[in-house]
Amino acid sequence: MGKLKTPIFIIIAILIIDQSLKIWVKTNMMLGEEFSVIGNWFYIHFVENNGMAFGMELGGDWGKIFLSVFRIVAVTGIGWYLYKLSCKGAPKGLIISVSMVLAGALGNIIDSMFYGMIFSHSYSQIAALFPDGGGYAPFLHGRVVDMFYFPLITGHYPEWFPVLGGQEFIFFRPVFNIADSSITLGIISIFVFQKQYFKEEKAID
């Protein structure tokens, strides 16, 4: 159990931060509402999505169910892999990175599984937690809460640009959450340090 202390701590810490912020946004803001945190390039902007990280979606009810089931299967696999890594004393950086990926996946799964059941909708109103009439969607049909928006660079595509000529350009357009960030940072860390991580892991084997 001692070897699992680090991943358990990381997962719990990320889940607490992720869910606390999502619940605050959900119970204090209407869908589409925003406020500036730093100037014109960092906003808390409340959106919800039915799908994957950074607002990407897999459409329809069946797409939603498929994605939710896929997430659960993936989290089970990642959890087992993390358990095996921890038990055999894999590099700490690898354990931390996989823990971040698992925590982020769990954070968004919680939204999908339960938010539809415990919250009322957020369209033109601030959602209520555990509303009398029940939630806005059944089990596995909840929407993921996103809030971080960084329109660092804004402008317009030149008129000669194919298809998008003259349209507004925003970087970075996607709205995301703590869970998305955790997954992304964990994967980037594994990719950047893969030679070090897996060289040490082979040495342990």
Active site residues: 146, 180
- Find all residues with CB under 8 Å of 32, minimum gap 6, and list them: 45, 46, 47
Coil, strand or helix at 8: helix
What pairing do the DSSP bridges indicate for beta strands 42-49 and 34-38? antiparallel
How would you classify residue 176: left for phi > 0, otherwise alpha for psi between -120 and 50, otherwise beta?
Answer: beta
Q: State which H helix or E strand residue 155 sits in.
A: strand 153-156
Question: Cis omega (within 30 of 0) on the bond before 172?
Answer: yes
Q: Give me the count of residues in the chain.
A: 205
Bridge partners of 154, per DSSP, are 170
Alpha-carbon distance of 152 to 150, in angstroms, equals 5
- What's the one-letter identity of residue 31? L
